[in-house]
Amino acid sequence: MKLLLDEMFSSSIARGLRDGRGVDIVAIAERNDLRGLPDLDVFLAAQHEQRAIVTENVRDFRLIAREGEARGRVHFGLVLTTNRRYPRADPRTSERLRRALSDLTLTETRGPTASNRELWL
């Protein structure tokens, strides 16, 4: 499972997962070509790279995904969470989120499976 970490999350989360756990993940914060783009463009870039999007922006990305699904398009998934579950102001959150994403990638298939799935952390 390949992941794209939305810009509300620190790039250190992606680095820790890549370096320490071998997860195929990139953070928008690491990518000049994605930083500051509208959600639709981020979604399309993730689909082009066959990545599920990890985000707290449930409302916007769900709407984009559902509009595509209504047109018969398949996407590579949404991994959704909330600031309440993983509060960004808490210094322990980065490690907690890294562990949750690592566990998720271990249980999911490693190939690019387009599935229209929503997964909640």
Count Cβ atoms below 10 Å from residue 79 Cβ, excluding itself: 25
Q: What is the pLDDT of residue 107?
A: 81
Provide the domain count of the chain: 1
pLDDT (tens digit, 0 to 9) for every residue of the chain, 121 residues total?
899 999 999 999 999 999 978 889 999 999 999 999 999 999 999 999 999 999 999 999 999 999 999 999 999 999 999 999 999 899 999 999 999 999 998 887 555 566 899 999 9
CA neighbours closer than 13 Å in the CB half-sphere of residue 62: 9
In the chain the first and final C-alpha atoms are separated, in Å, by: 15
Q: What is the pTM of this model?
A: 0.92
Range(s) of the domain holding residue 88: 3-120
Contacts of 39 (CB under 8 A, 6+ apart): 57, 60, 61, 64
